[in-house]
Structure formats: structure tokens, C-alpha cells
Structure 1
């Protein structure tokens, strides 16, 4: 057939594409954190409870880190903030790798937490401010896919290095952070901080008074708590089942590959027509199915299949929720809104290792994953009742596409 018309998405801005590339580079070494608890247990003989407390301290430190990232992006610029955060992470990762005692490892974990989230608010604000509203779901989904693309290599690297020495995972992560910082510093445009009048705009600094944002923050924190269980507790859970903890790297790779390969699902007409509450409800049903698979699986192949199902739900969540928060923010306030919403990850990173290690030690892997699956079902119902629709979609905007004539 000739003379047909093909619909293609508008290309993303160069700045966003460079940011996606930099994140791939960073993510290639970014699977040390899930093995922090395993390192503490194996190298220092610490108990599960102690390992959970150390991870909780790390998570607690990420909360001021996320808020500082939003504030610094406004004051010194997003590029400088991103580079500062990445270099801080590299220093902390190397300190953990070189630590000779549990005290030194804990100190490194605290420094890592304080630097860990500086990157996120400015990078998300760059994406949200660089693309039109109808393209934000796609842009944030691609950001998630960029993490997954780097994660495929990272998961294999973790499986390889983890069998040799877990400390090399932290060295690899530090190297990827420095490479990403170099790429960001050379490729992104020079910072142009907003003038003082804009910085002091009262409408941009009141995210905690926005009830819509607080509702999204509550459900987002619950989701992040579940997500962090699949990151922080998974290596320990595999060990409890008699499988190598390093096999978590293979599960991370399967999830990452699914996220990359499933990107076309975001652009399907029926998924783009879903309201934000309906899309998030569907996502949590998929998350529940994947976690139920974790609860029932006893072999690596079935665990890999469960990881793939889980990642489909994760893909739907990441694109929609960050686009929603960006749309809720007033002009000039996206960095602060994203920073406040991002504290959900710090809260979850604090609570997840405590909850996960206690459930794992007291009730076992089946109860751990079954509890998380039940929480996903509850969140699916809550999204249909309390989650606001994205303003850009309420205004009737559809996906922005360009029409290209061609022959088929």
C-alpha cells in the first residue's frame, strides 16, 4: 500500500536526550545499593536487624538530600547540582568499598544518602520543563527506560562481580557516577539560575499546602515502600530460599529488559486514553501479580517471569506519576513539587529495610511478598478514588505526534 500516513512521536529536545544518555551511563554501575545489606552481613558478620538499621539510616539521609536537590537547583542551577550529587556519590561509594570496619561502612552509607538524591529533582525538572505537557508521560517513561537500559548491563555486572567480591560493585558504581558527572558537565547547557524575583515567588514554594500533591505523596510513598522491598530485600530473600544473593542481579536484568522492550505499550491508543487514576490502578494490579509470583516461586525461571510482570506495572507508574506531579506544580514550582514528592523514596528507603528484614526474619519470604502484593491491591483501589487526573489530560490534550507521509 502506498501513499499512507504514519504517525510518529515528536523527537525529544536535545537536552533531554543528553540527560537520558547520561543516566544510562550512570546506571551501568548502579546496583551496589541492593547489596549494601548483604555486604554488611557477609563482611562484618552483622545480623539482619543491624543490616536493616544501616539501610534505614541511608534512607533517612536521602530525605534532606532530595529537598536540598530541589533548593540547590533553583540557587546554583540544575547542571551544577547534578554534578555535585554524582561526585558526592562516587566519594561515598569508594569509602564503603574501602571500609575496614562496620563503623566506616555506616559512615559511608550516611554520606551516600546525603548525596544520593541531589541528582533527581533537577533532572526531573529539566525533563518536565523541556517537553510539552502531552509528551511528559512519554518523556518520563523514557527516563525510566534509560535507567532500565543501563540496568540490564548493571544487573549482569552485579551477578558477575557479586560472586567475586561485593565491594567491587561499589567501585563500579563510583566509576559510573564520575563518568556521568563528566558527561553532564560537558554536554548540558550552562546553568542559568532564575532571577531572585522568581525564586521568591510564593506560589512556587508551597507544595506542602497543595492537598492534591499530598494525596499523590501518600500513595507514592506506599508504592515506593513496595518498590524498595524488591530492591533492598530481594538479595536477602533469595539467600533465604537457598539461591545465590547475586542472582538478584539476574532478576534486575530481566525487569530492566522488560521495561525497555515494553516502551511501545506507552504509545498504544488504549493506554494513552486511560485516565491517570485508571492507569495507576492497572499498574498496581500488575505489581500485585508480580509480587504474588515472587511469593509462590521457588526456582530462578519462575522468579524471572515474576520480575518481568512486576516491571510492566513499574513502567506504567513511573511515566504517569511524575508527569502528574509536574502538571500539578505552578509555574516555576516543578523543582520544589518534584523534590517534595521525591521524599516518598527517602521515607520508603528508611522504612523498607526495617519492615522487610523483620518480615523476612520472622515470617519468611512467602509472607513478605504476599504482604506487599496485598498492599498493591489496596493501592489499586485507592487510586480510583483519591488520585487526581492530570491537568494536561483534563484539558483534552492527546499525545503530540508528527505526521510523515511514506509508502508501506
Structure 2
């Protein structure tokens, strides 16, 4: 990987190492400020809603003022909001800071993804995005340990530590990543050519990505409750999340194998969705921790095949000067999923139990497996390097 990608991955991993405050926001609002659970839930929903315009703003700024500047602005905004939450003396001020944090929370994502697309050629983008995903997953394991230590002391310190890692990441990005520069393509691009909301191919990717995000976030939201209803300890979800992170991190060398590296994107998506479906079907049938663990490894292998390919495909769809905005629009799928997943998961468990929940998620992945790869084969005529990444590398050579 180029030096820019390696440094960006390290910087984001440092940031992820401290990103453990958000799951404790509701707890802090109820225990520290006396908020009712329903009120704390509304604040959490407002935060999730604010992340959608946050990501869109990040994409626009990435293409307007540059990748590095946008990353620094987003991380600094997150840090200030988190320090505001830690220093709040009332529920109203804490809620306002939480919404402000949501407005800054996703700004640095589109420029990070666009910087990777700028730094490597099409044949390496899948591996580069997968490396970033693996580094964030691995750092997430350390984040849980830090949260366990600081959370026993005072929950406010979680937000202070998170703010410090944001500032450290921003400083690293500012000092070691290459400076921003405007390209000729960016200066002369037609306005209509970079209107992502009018691009039907991108909107199809957004629809598929939203359903995929709902499935993934469902695992985060509903797995602890599912374990409890199965008669296991909800805390065992932490072990399963760690197993998933280890699988994604340890599976990175697989992406360099010729058989996988040359696999057309539609075929890779088909395999990924089928592995996700198989793992979730395992959740539906599991009655022991060992069963849940095996199912977690299977769906994590599917995630390994899907995430890097998805971002590489969207980057290939984008016209010159529009990668930031395209990646931002696609990334809103996670904001939409964050709103839909808790609502859908709790309703499915209430009416169909854990078997119905995971069976439904399995069917969602099977639906994606049946429809999405077929559409990508058609879209591959427009984006041949995304459908067959190695072919474009042979024709044009690596881009730097």
C-alpha cells in the first residue's frame, strides 16, 4: 500500500481506539443528568439523524476544500462536542452537544475514503478499503478494553478520552498526510456531472447498501438481546464482536490470493451475501455459544468480501472531482440504517422471536444475493474496472 494509505489507516485506527463513548451516551444522560429513558432515546435518535447531513457535508467539503482539511475539521468538531458533553452541567446542554457531535461525526468519513481512491489504482482499491475496515475492527477491540477501565471511574472520562484521540488523529493527519491540491479535473468539472442524487447507478448502490447496513447494525443492536432470550449471557456479545473483528483482520491476506483478487465484483458480492445469509441462519438455529461463535465467523467472512468491494465500486462510479460526494451519498446508508435497525429489530423480536429476527435478516441477504450482483454485471458495462478490477489495471496501469 502507498505511504498515504498506510498513514491514514494508522491515524484512523488511533481515532477508533478512543471511539467508545457513543454507546454510553444514553447511560450518561440517564444516570448523570437524570433523564428518563425515553428522553435519552430521543437524544440518541437526534444524534443518528444528524449524522446523515454530516456525511453529506463531509463529501461536499472533501471535493471543495480538500481531503486533509475536511478530515481535520471533522475530527476537531467531534472533539469539541465530546468535551462539551463531558463538561455539561445540565441535560439541555448535554443534548445540544450530542446533536452537534452528530453533525460533525461523519464529516471525516467521505474524505478518508476518497483519499484512498486517489492514492491507489482500481486493482488495489478493494484491498485498501478492506485494510481500513480491518484496522478499525482491530482497534475496536482495544476500545472495548479502554471503555471497561474508564467507565468504572466516571462515564464523562470516556468522552474526554474520545476527544483526545480525535485531536491526536487530526494532528497526525495534518502533519504526515500530503497537502491538499486542486486538480485540473476538479476545476473544470461540469456541475451536472457530479450530481450524485441523479445517478441511478449510485442510487441502486445506496438502496442495496441501506439494506446491508440494516442487517449489519441489527447484529450490533439485537445480538445481546438475542443471547439473553436464548438463555445465554448478553455480555457474551462482546466475545462474538471480538471474534468478528479478529476474523476480518486475520482474513486480510486472503484478499491477496489470485483467485479472490481477480474475482469479478458481482461474483464477490454473490459469495459475500451468501456467506452473510449462512451466518445469520446459524444465529437463527444456534442454541449455544459455540454455535453463535461459528455463525459469527461465517458472516464475518462475508463482510470481508463485501465492504471493500462496495466502496471501490462507488469510487469507480464517481466522475472526476466527485469521489467525495459519491462516497458521502453512499455512506448515508449507515445513517438510515442506524434509525431503522433498532425499530425493526425490536418489533421482529417482539412478534416473531429470535428465530424470526435472524431468519428475516437471512432472507434480506438472500434477496441481495439474487438481485444486486445481476444489476452490477449490467453496471459493469459503465464501470469495467469495478466489475473486473484486474482488467483495468492491465489496460492503464496503476494510478498514483
TM interval, short-chain normalised: 0.7 to 0.9
Quick one: which of 173, 179, 184 aligns to 1:190?
A: 179
Shift of 1:173: 2.5
Q: Residues 329-348 of structure 1: CA distance to partner in whole angstroms, max 9, x if unpaired?
A: 11221111111111111211
Q: Residues 215-254 of structure 1: CA distance to partner in whole angstroms, max 9, x if unpaired?
A: 1111011111111222344455556666665544333222
Shift of 1:257: 1.0
> Structure 1's 36 and 145: CA in aligned 2 closer, same or farther, altered over 3 A?
same
d(CA) in 2 for partners of 1:104, 1:59? 18
Would you say how many aligned residue pairs link Structure 1 and Structure 2? 389
Q: Which residue matches 1:333? A: 322
8 A contact 1:74–1:194 mirrored in 2: no
Q: Which residue matches 2:390? A: 397
Across the aligned residues of Structure 1 and Structure 2, the Cα RMSD in angstroms comes to: 3.0
Quick one: which of 49, 52, 68 aligns to 1:60?
A: 49
> Structure 1's 252 and 139: CA in aligned 2 closer, same or farther, altered over 3 A?
same
Shift of 1:147: 1.0
Q: How does 1:154-169 map to 2 (within 5 A)?
A: 154-159=143-148, 161=150, 167-169=156-158
Residue ranges of structure 2 left out of the alignment (5+ in a row)? 395-400
TM superposition outliers: structure 1 runs of 4+ over 6 Å: none
Shift of 1:395: 6.4
Q: How does 1:356-375 map to 2 (within 5 A)?
A: 356-361=345-350, 363-375=352-364
1:222 aligns with 2:211: yes
Q: Residues 43-90 of structure 1: CA distance to partner in whole angstroms, max 9, x if unpaired?
A: 65744x666544332221111111100111222221121111112222
d(CA) in 2 for partners of 1:282, 1:233? 24
1:261 aligns with 2:254: no
8 A contact 2:58–2:108 mirrored in 1: yes
8 A contact 1:69–1:121 mirrored in 2: yes
8 A contact 1:151–1:252 mirrored in 2: no
> Structure 1's 130 and 301: CA in aligned 2 closer, same or farther, altered over 3 A?
same
> Structure 1's 114 and 203: CA in aligned 2 closer, same or farther, altered over 3 A?
same
Q: Which residue matches 1:144? A: 133
The two structures have a TM-score, normalised by structure 2, of: 0.85
d(CA) in 2 for partners of 1:306, 1:104? 43
Quick one: which of 278, 285, 292 aligns to 1:289?
A: 278
Quick one: which of 268, 275, 278 aligns to 2:264?
A: 275
Residue ranges of structure 1 left out of the alignment (5+ in a row)? 1-11, 402-408
Quick one: which of 7, 14, 19 aligns to 1:18?
A: 7
> Structure 1's 157 and 269: CA in aligned 2 closer, same or farther, altered over 3 A?
same
Shift of 1:104: 4.5
d(CA) in 2 for partners of 1:382, 1:41? 44
Shift of 1:381: 1.1
Shift of 1:205: 2.1
SS at match of 2:390: coil
8 A contact 1:286–1:310 mirrored in 2: yes
Shift of 1:107: 2.7
Higher mean alpha-carbon deviation, 85-94 vs 355-364, is at 355-364
Q: Which residue matches 2:398? A: none
8 A contact 1:32–1:170 mirrored in 2: yes
Q: Residues 334-381 of structure 1: CA distance to partner in whole angstroms, max 9, x if unpaired?
A: 111111111111211222223234434555444333322221121111
d(CA) in 2 for partners of 1:399, 1:251? 38
Shift of 1:131: 0.6
Quick one: which of 16, 19, 26 aligns to 1:27?
A: 16
d(CA) in 1 for partners of 2:134, 2:393? 20
d(CA) in 2 for partners of 1:30, 1:188? 22
Quick one: which of 99, 112, 115 aligns to 2:104?
A: 115
Q: Which residue matches 1:180? A: 169
> Structure 1's 153 and 120: CA in aligned 2 closer, same or farther, altered over 3 A?
same
Structure in which a larger fraction of residues adopt helix:
2
> Structure 1's 395 and 307: CA in aligned 2 closer, same or farther, altered over 3 A?
closer
Q: Which residue matches 1:347? A: 336
d(CA) in 1 for partners of 2:188, 2:220? 36
Higher mean alpha-carbon deviation, 266-275 vs 240-249, is at 240-249
Shift of 1:289: 2.4
Q: Residues 198-221 of structure 1: CA distance to partner in whole angstroms, max 9, x if unpaired?
A: 275325422222211111111011
> Structure 1's 354 and 17: CA in aligned 2 closer, same or farther, altered over 3 A?
same
